């Protein structure tokens, strides 16, 4: 028995979502009285991997071949399944992030394992049966999934569980054997287009977002400045990206990205249900809007009824003061 | 080119979410059901565009009861050539994926294009499960898809950017916004949809790997705390001391 978490490395660092998955895996291992093992596919530094001990990982196994550096769901499924067999893992934990959304269900089929996508809490075990909570209806409700298969696959919703770090150091085992051959590869990466200099929206803990209330693209300077001060990512409502005031990758909501940051600041956004669908998983929501009747206030933790063109510059000044004092 | 598009039936986004039978069942009373938006706007339309350019056939498949025939007809009206409905209650993703895979195995599709997660269960399971059941490569969160000489070029979302990849057909694709421009069925489409074939087939026996035991609504609605626009410093203080997010 063991709990195996799948960990992704990007730019020499463990992805934030994967740190959460590994932490979740360690917590599950703790409750089952077994070991927390992490699997890393592709090249990664041993010191980076050993640091997984901070979130309770005992042992890191690695398929560290340069051939595995880019994501191919079929190849990765095979490797993870092999690591499950070798470690005797009964629970496999991944992140419900871009790659996890393809890898986890594939693995579920390969292992004939019940799969819970996007868990928001730790599972509760009763013998061989696990009950796991996940959000449904875009965060408007939750559901308890029951899984009783011998092996269980769980993907963790990003930002659902804040890892508590200790001082542990994981033992790093190089290279696990795999039977992957060249014939298994199907996806050839031609180019990568990263938006540089900004925090990726889906990984961001703080997000500053604005909507049509800002009147025009020329007014986004203060939004960018506030985001920069806070180390936040920027987002926008759909009409704003539809008319190209902002790039499409910033659009959040039912038809755009779903995000769950610790803090979401919405400036000049009315709070239509389709917008809320993408953001109401945020821990804390701040709404700044001139209209006291704007529906967004119903979903907000803190609200300022006021003009963005006064409130945002004031907020930048106040935040600078705060930063200087802390 | 033969393309299969699995379509899901979901409650309209403005539906009131409530549960019955001791919180074990979604209350469908008075709820309007629609085709899952990414299936309709992106997966289906891109499939039709590829067919229009290169010839071939677009088949839609749905696993569910007869009450879904309306959304299936809509898919035909938008431009799919024929439809298959596997007559079964789509309660578990693995069960649904097996039904679609069984059909796909008999037809040699070049491409299978699903939507993104359905807007009710937000599961994102079928795309990966199908690929594994069919032993095919898969690419999800795809916002661009071109096919030439049996090779697909796709743009997919990665954290903080996009990646362009090439994959040989056959292939499973998970659609994302921007893959196509949504189409509204026209009169001719609606008329011809009535006579296009819709085959209703029985389900294949398959295991269910998960089971939803109960639902819950958020415990309480949020109570918004208001801060005066003349006292923005107070907001910063609250975010730090009370909410502890900065
Ligand atoms: C099927 C479907 C899918 C959709 N998907 C999405 C989606 O994914 N994401 C999304 O965002 N939308 C989506 N929409 C659109 C959504 O319904 C709303 O139309 C949209 O979110 C509104 O954007 P907005 O709040 O920026 O603009 P508006 O609704 O125009 O609101 C602007 C707000 O700014 C306020 N304001 C004006 N001036 C100021 C000022 N000086 N200072 C402060 N506040 C000010 C106004 O009071 C108002 O509340 C979808 C719609 C449909 C039908
Ligand atoms: N009952 C169903 N019948 C056919 N296709 C489905 C069904 N449910 C989901 N799908 C497809 O699978 C995709 C992902 O759904 P899901 O994995 O359930 O979030 C959808 O966008 C559809 O393309």
CATH number at residue A122: 3.40.50.620
Q: Is A263 on the interface with B (CB under 8 A)?
A: yes
Q: Does A151 touch chain B (CB under 8 A)?
A: no
**Which of A39, A44, A53, A30 is CA-nearest to residue A5?**
A39
Instruction: Give the B window 128-167 contacts with A, CB below 8 Å.
Output: 128-129, 131-133, 135-141, 153, 156-167
pLDDT at B160: 80
The protein residue whose alpha carbon is closest to atom 14 in ligand 2 is B117
Residue A237 has a pLDDT of: 98
Q: Give the model's pLDDT for residue A280.
A: 86
Integer Rg of chain B from CA:
21
pLDDT of residue A268: 98
A176 Cβ inside 6 Å of ligand 1: no
| Shared-domain flag, residues A229 and A89 | no
CA distance B221 to A96: 26
A55 and A120 fall within a common domain = yes
DSSP run (H or E) holding B27: none
| Comparison of pLDDT for A49 and B177, the residue scoring more | A49
* Mean pLDDT rounded to a whole number for chain A: 94
Cβ–ligand 2 distance for B63 under 6 Å, the answer yes
Query: Would you state the pLDDT for residue B165?
Result: 98
User: Could you tell me whether strands A284-289 and A302-305 are parallel, antiparallel, or unpaired per DSSP bridges?
Assistant: parallel
- Among A118, A123, A141, most B C-beta atoms within 10 A, so best to mutate, is A141
* Interatomic CA distance for residues A122 and A29, integer angstroms: 11
What pLDDT was estimated at residue A196?
Answer: 67
Range scoring the smallest mean pLDDT among A91-100, A194-203, B129-138: A194-203
With H, G, I as helix, E, B as strand and everything else as coil, classify residue B198.
strand
Check whether residue A115 and residue A215 sit in a common domain.
no
Whether residues A64 and A149 share a domain: the answer is yes
Contacts with A322 (C-beta within 8 Å, 6 or more apart), sequence order: B236, B237, B240, B246
- Please, which pLDDT band fits residue A197 given cuts at 50, 70 and 90? low
Q: How confident is the model at residue A257 (pLDDT cuts 50, 70, 90)?
A: confident
Instruction: Give SS3 for A27.
Output: helix
In a domain? residue A195: no
Do both A177 and A212 map to the same domain? Answer: no
The answer on A212 and A176 residing in a single domain is no
For chain A, where are the E strands, in sequence order?
A: 2-7, 9-10, 13-14, 35-41, 59-63, 91-95, 114-119, 124-126, 129-136, 141-147, 152-156, 171-173, 187-194, 206-210, 233-236, 263-267, 284-289, 302-305
For A212-241, write each residue's pLDDT tens digit.
999 999 999 999 999 999 999 999 999 999
Work out whether strand A59-63 and strand A171-173 pair parallel, antiparallel, or are unpaired.
parallel
Residue that is written with structure tokens 């010191």 in the block: A47
Are residues B213 and A326, on separate chains, in Cβ contact within 8 Å?
no
Q: Do the Cβ atoms of B75 and B40 come closer than 8 Å? A: yes
Cα(B168)–Cα(A248) distance, integer angstroms: 28
Residues A223 and A299 placed together within one structural domain of the fold:
yes
Scored b (16 or more CB within 10 A) or e, B191-201 reads eebeebebeee
Q: Are A279 and A259 contacting, i.e. CB atoms less than 8 angstroms apart? A: yes
pLDDT digits (tens, 9 = 90+) for B82-129: 999 999 999 899 999 999 999 999 999 999 999 999 999 999 999 999
What's A301's domain CATH number?
3.40.50.1220
User: Within a domain: residue A205?
Assistant: yes
Distant-in-sequence, close-in-space partners of B230: CB < 8 Å, separation ≥ 6: none
User: Which residue, A126, A149, A146, is CA-closest to B213?
Assistant: A146
Q: Is residue A244 part of a domain?
A: yes
Read off the pLDDT band of A272 (50, 70, 90). very high
What pLDDT does B191 receive?
96
Interval B158-185: pLDDT, tens = 988 899 999 999 999 999 988 999 999 9
In order of B35, B65, B78, B201, the CA distances from B73 in angstroms are: 11, 14, 9, 16
Record the tokens describing residue B204, joined without a space: 């294949």
Paired with B33 in beta bridges are B11
Both A173 and A210 in one domain: the answer is: no
User: What are the structure tokens assigned to B41, written together?
Assistant: 């706007």
Number of compact structural domains in chain A: 2
User: B90 in ligand 2 pocket by Cβ < 6 Å?
Assistant: yes
Interface membership of B125 toward A (CB under 8 Å): yes
Q: Output the pLDDT for position A42.
A: 87
Mean pLDDT of A67-86: 95
Q: Which of the two residues, A68 and A198, has the higher pLDDT score?
A: A68
- A72 part of a folded domain: yes
User: Higher model confidence: residue B109 or residue A66?
Assistant: B109
Higher pLDDT, A273 or A115: A115
User: ∠A279-A284-A288 over CA atoms, to 5°?
Assistant: 80
Q: Confidence band (pLDDT; 50, 70, 90) for B220?
A: low
The pLDDT, as a whole number, for residue B221 is: 65
Q: A211 near A269, Cβ under 8 Å?
A: yes
**Residue A64 pLDDT:** 82
Q: Which of B156, B178, B213 sits opposite A144 (nearest CB)?
A: B213
Domain membership of residue A245 as a residue range: 201-325
| Euclidean distance between CA atoms A288 and A315, whole angstroms | 11
Q: Per the domain annotation, does A192 fall within a domain?
A: no
| A305 with B229: Cβ contact below 8 A | yes
CA distance A158 to A18: 9
CA atoms within 13 A on the CB side of A194: 9
Domain boundaries, chain B: 2-212
In whole angstroms, give the CA distance from residue B57 to residue B1: 6
The ipTM assigned to this model is 0.88
Rounded CA-CA distance B17/A140 in Å is 7
Which of A28-42, A184-198, B29-43 is predicted least confidently?
A184-198
Cβ under 8 Å to B: A residues 39-78? 72-74, 77
What's the CATH class of domain B2-212?
alpha beta
Query: What pLDDT does A200 receive?
Result: 79
Nearest CB to B213; choose among A113, A146, A255: A146
Last residue of a domain, one of A184, A215, A237: A184
Task: For chain A, positions 275-314, list CB contacts with chain B under 8 A.
Answer: 277, 283-287, 297-307, 310-311, 314
Per-residue pLDDT of A132-183, as tens digits, reads 999 999 888 999 999 999 999 999 998 888 899 999 999 998 777 889 999 9
């Amino acid at each position: 028995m063991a709990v195996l978490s799948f960990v992704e490395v990007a730019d020499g660092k463990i992805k934030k979502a994967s740190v959460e998955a590994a932490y979740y895996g360690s917590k599950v291992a703790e409750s089952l009285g077994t070991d927390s093992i992490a699997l890393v596919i592709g090249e990664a530094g041993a010191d980076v991997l050993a640091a997984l001990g901070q979130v309770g990982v005992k042992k890191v196994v690695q398929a560290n071949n340069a051939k595995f550096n880019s994501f191919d769901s079929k190849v990765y499924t095979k490797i993870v399944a092999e690591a499950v067999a070798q470690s005797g893992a009964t629970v496999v934990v991944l992140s419900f992030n871009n790659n996890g959304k393809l890898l986890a269900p594939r693995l579920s089929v390969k292992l004939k394992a019940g799969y819970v996508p996007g868990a928001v809490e730790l599972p509760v075990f009763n013998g061989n049966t696990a009950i796991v909570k996940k959000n449904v209806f875009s965060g408007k409700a939750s559901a308890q999934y029951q899984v009783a298969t011998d092996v269980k696959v769980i993907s963790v919703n990003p930002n659902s569980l804040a890892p508590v770090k200790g001082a542990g150091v994981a033992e790093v085992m190089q290279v696990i054997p795999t039977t992957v051959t060249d014939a298994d590869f199907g996806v050839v990466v031609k180019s990568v287009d990263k938006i540089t200099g900004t925090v990726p929206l889906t990984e961001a803990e703080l997000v500053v977002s604005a909507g049509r209330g800002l009147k025009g693209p020329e007014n986004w300077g203060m939004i960018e400045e506030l985001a920069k001060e806070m180390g936040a990512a920027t987002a926008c409502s759909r009409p704003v990206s539809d008319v190209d005031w902002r790039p499409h990758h910033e659009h959040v909501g039912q038809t755009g990205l779903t995000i769950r940051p610790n803090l979401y600041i919405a400036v000049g956004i009315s709070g239509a249900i389709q917008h809320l669908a993408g953001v109401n998983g945020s821990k804390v929501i701040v709404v700044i809007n001139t209209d006291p009747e704007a529906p967004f206030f119903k979903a907000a933790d803190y609200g300022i009824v006021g003009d963005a063109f006064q409130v945002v510059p004031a907020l930048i000044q106040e935040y600078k003061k705060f930063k200087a004092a802390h | 080119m033969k393309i299969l598009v699995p379509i899901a039936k979901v409650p309209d986004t403005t539906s009131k979410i409530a549960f019955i039978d001791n919180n074990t069942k979604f209350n469908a009373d008075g709820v309007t059901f629609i085709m899952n938006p990414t299936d309709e706007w992106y997966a289906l339309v891109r499939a039709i565009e590829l067919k229009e350019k290169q010839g071939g056939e677009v088949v839609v498949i749905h696993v569910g009861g007869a009450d879904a025939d309306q959304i299936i007809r809509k898919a035909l009206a938008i431009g799919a050539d024929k439809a298959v409905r596997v007559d079964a209650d789509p309660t578990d993703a693995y069960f649904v994926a097996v039904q679609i895979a069984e059909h796909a195995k008999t037809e040699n599709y070049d491409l299978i294009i699903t939507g993104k997660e359905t807007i009710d269960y937000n599961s994102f399971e079928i795309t990966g499960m199908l690929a594994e059941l069919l032993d095919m490569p898969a690419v999800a969160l795809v916002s661009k898809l071109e096919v030439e000489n049996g090779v697909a070029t796709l743009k997919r979302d990665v954290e903080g950017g996009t990646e362009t990849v090439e994959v040989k057909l056959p292939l499973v694709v998970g659609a994302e916004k921007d893959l196509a421009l949504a189409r509204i069925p026209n009169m001719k489409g609606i008329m011809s949809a009535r006579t296009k074939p819709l085959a209703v087939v029985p389900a294949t026996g398959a295991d269910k790997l998960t089971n939803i035991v109960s639902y819950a609504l958020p415990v309480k609605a949020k109570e918004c705390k208001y801060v005066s626009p003349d006292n923005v410093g107070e907001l910063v203080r609250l975010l730090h001391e009370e909410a502890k997010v900065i």
